[in-house]
Amino acid sequence: HLTVVKDFDTSLLEFVVCPLSKKQLRYEVNTNELINEELGIAYPIFDGIPNMIPNMQD
């Protein structure tokens, strides 16, 4: 089977915001995550789709 990795379309950063703070996110290519620097939250991206459910672990 051929595995196709779908990268996150960075043009979507214009429209995607953090569901908690409603502020824009930064895309981190090394970890494939959307980052909210202010709250210290990372949203992982799977198959090009960000998981926007906050995972707040202490």
**Consecutive 10-residue runs of the chain (58 residues): their mean pLDDT?**
69 95 95 94 92 74
pLDDT for 7 equals 80
Is there a domain that residue 1 lies in? Answer: no
Using CA atoms of 10, 15, 18, 24 in order, give the dihedral in degrees to the nearest 10: 70
pLDDT for 20 equals 95
pLDDT for 4 equals 52
Is there a domain that residue 39 lies in? Answer: yes
pLDDT for 2 equals 55
| Model confidence, pTM | 0.80
Is there a domain that residue 2 lies in? Answer: no
- Number of domains the chain contains: 1
Is there a domain that residue 26 lies in? Answer: yes
Give me the domain span that covers residue 38: 10-49
Question: What b/e sequence results for 31-54 when a residue is b if at least 16 CB atoms lie within 10 Å of its CB, and e otherwise?
Answer: ebbbbbeeeebbbebeeeebeeee
